[in-house]
Structure 1
Amino acid sequence: MLITFLYWAAVIIVALLLLAFAFLVYSYRKHMSNLPKPDGRMLEHKPVPGEWSDSAVTFTWVGHSTILIRMFGTKILTDPVLGEQLGIRIAGVIPVGPKRFTPPALQPEEIGEVDLILLSHAHMDHIDLPTLRKLATRNIDVITAKNTSGLLRRMPFKSVAELEPGQTVQTADGLTITAIPVRHWGNRFPWNTDYGYNGYIIEKNGVRILYPGDTAYISMSFIREQFGPIDLAFMPIGAYKPDSYQRAHCTPEQAWQMFKESGAKWLVPIHHNTFVLSQEPVDEPLERLLTAAGAERDKIVVEKQGETYTLPTTEQS
């Protein structure tokens, strides 16, 4: 009797799991059917980090929210995601997640060893574990959000520090990193309700960089008031359609407004033209940002992956 009961209980559990899996697959395919389907794109620019000066601030947009910065000799990499596809593998085999339609401007071996990796939050388009495993060495420090360091516990980094908004850390080579509040969320899976999410102010030798990670509109006036002049701001501009997405992602017009509120001198749009994560046409975010900028569009200094820029105030003659 007990054996029969256990048998049918197991059958029911397996059936429920199969139904749940089928529902997830159906929901995912329905979601994907409403998204743009751009053709793959070629890179127009190829950065050469080995040629960058240690006496200036130079950077390139690698793709999505991944930026490589050389800041007076210190190499910083933000939210490194270099793989061809995001997401998970069901049963370790079947990939589920958006594919890259624009390749990264640099591969891990071209980036080389960096000094610091900044992670804003645990979403899979910001913390990509396969990429981090390829980059990990005993010489790299990592700064990440509250309760997310466990994702990296088996990786051979020099150190992994968690920050919450308002907290600051200074590195051995003179960087000051301050976590700032943004309007987003941190769960990697539904049960990770305690995962944090940050933006960052990066400072060295009097130069300040704003990296908000991912955010919906939030007044950035406090940046100028708290930190003083900002030299460079990276702003996310994609993943805002349908309108419900704007609870966690700003529109291009809001990104421009936040840039102006921060008082930054130069703007680099990120978080677009890499993965299809939402319903807006893939070229729309940049077009709308340029329209919002109007006569000040010359303040937007990088528009495409792989473009390299050196802050004018740091260039040496």
Structure 2
Amino acid sequence: MAVDVTWLGHSTVTVDVRTPRGALRVVTDPVLRRGLAHLRRRPRTPSAAASAGCDLALVSHLHHDHLDLPSLRRLRPAVLVTPPGSSDWVRWRLGRSAIQVVEVGIGQTREVRVRDQPVAVTALPAHHAGHRTGSGVSRAPVDAVAVEHLVRVPDAFPVREPDDLLLWAIGDTGEFEGSDAVLGAGGRAPDLALVPVGGWGHTLGPHHLDPRQAAELVARTRPAHSLPVHWGTLHPVALGRTMGDRFTAPGPAFVAHARRLGVPGAVDVGVGGRLRLDDAGVLLP
């Protein structure tokens, strides 16, 4: 096994990569609590062990359901990548932390070293508001933007050429021109895309993808494997019983749309589920 991927709920995914240099754990948009702000979690809260030992954490934007400060303090990643315009505020809110905070601008690629391994992180544009709700109280920057992240880990697939892992963590976005920028940034299609296909409320605004739109995105970009996230996890306080099939339908609907479009590799694992890739990047049963 070269890559082990576990969806912990909403946009939080652990990606464990084994290379000749050792193990590397990446965690996306960590939300590890039972509730935050006006939202509550329906599936079981992940155990501390599920995300422990995080080497690299990615935050796509400052919304509470993507940047949860108590979760970051609990996670204590060695390196935290933040979106443009937010790193100083994040450092201030984390206080006297040993976490290295790195800001990556849109179109920029930065190399970080974790466990003596070089990892390249590129920030790509997203069609989504990036500022934090209640920024006047929290003093969060009002000009922070949302991004997608493309992570390149060398030597992840030793029996394949190219041998690097391309991980596309989309975070949250709606449809927009240039949504296929990942192909230019990566030089090829990603190995794994973490694709938002829903939300936490009763409706989706224009800055989100529904299952059909998400399938059309992967049909344009053709990642080898795509995992539907950002659904089936959170609901507004006291409204959990009114969510209907929003906790069960978006993931399977995304997979069905992807298959109709002739896109292989779309896999719904459910909250707490896992997919594994072997040393050649092939999905294990």
The bucket for the TM-score relative to the shorter chain is 0.7 to 0.9
Distance 2:230 2:99 in 1: 28
1:240 and 1:250 in contact (8 A); partners too: no
Matches within 5 A, 1:146-295: 146-149=84-87, 150-153=89-92, 154-172=95-113, 173-190=117-134, 191=136, 192-205=141-154, 206-218=164-176, 219-227=178-186, 228-239=188-199, 245-276=204-235, 281-282=245-246, 283-294=248-259
Following superposition, the deviation at residue 224 of structure 1 comes to: 2.0
Q: Are positions 1:76 and 2:26 aligned together?
A: yes
Distance 2:255 2:166 in 1: 24
Which of 100, 109, 112 is matched with 2:52 structurally?
112
Amino acid at match of 1:301: V
Following superposition, the deviation at residue 99 of structure 1 comes to: 0.8
C-alpha distance 181-155 of structure 1, shift in aligned 2 (>3 A): farther
C-alpha distance 241-109 of structure 1, shift in aligned 2 (>3 A): closer
Matches within 5 A, 1:295-310: 296=262, 299-310=265-276
C-alpha distance 286-109 of structure 1, shift in aligned 2 (>3 A): closer
3-state SS of 2:245 partner: coil
1:145 and 1:162 in contact (8 A); partners too: yes
Amino acid at match of 1:124: H
3-state SS of 2:118 partner: coil
- The size of the alignment, in residue pairs, is 250
3-state SS of 1:253 partner: helix
4+ long deviations beyond 4 Å: 240-243, 277-280, 295-298
| TM-score, structure 2 normalization | 0.79
Residue number in structure 1 paired with 2:74 = 134
2:200 and 2:234 in contact (8 A); partners too: no
Following superposition, the deviation at residue 77 of structure 1 comes to: 0.7
C-alpha distance 288-109 of structure 1, shift in aligned 2 (>3 A): closer
Following superposition, the deviation at residue 81 of structure 1 comes to: 0.3
Kindly provide the CA deviation profile for residues 218-252 of structure 1, in whole angstroms up to 9, marking residues without a partner as x: 35333223321311111001139776x43211111
Distance 2:185 2:75 in 1: 33
Residue number in structure 1 paired with 2:161 = none
Kindly provide the CA deviation profile for residues 36-71 of structure 1, in whole angstroms up to 9, marking residues without a partner as x: xxxxxxxxxxxxxxxxx5xx1211001110011112
Identity value in percent = 25
3-state SS of 2:131 partner: coil
Greater mean alpha carbon deviation, residues 63-72 or residues 150-159? 150-159
Residue number in structure 1 paired with 2:43 = 102
- Structure index of larger Rg: 1
Distance 1:287 1:264 in 2: 18
Structure 2: runs of 5 or more not aligned: 155-163
Residue number in structure 2 paired with 1:58 = 4
Amino acid at match of 1:178: T
| TM-score, structure 1 normalization | 0.72
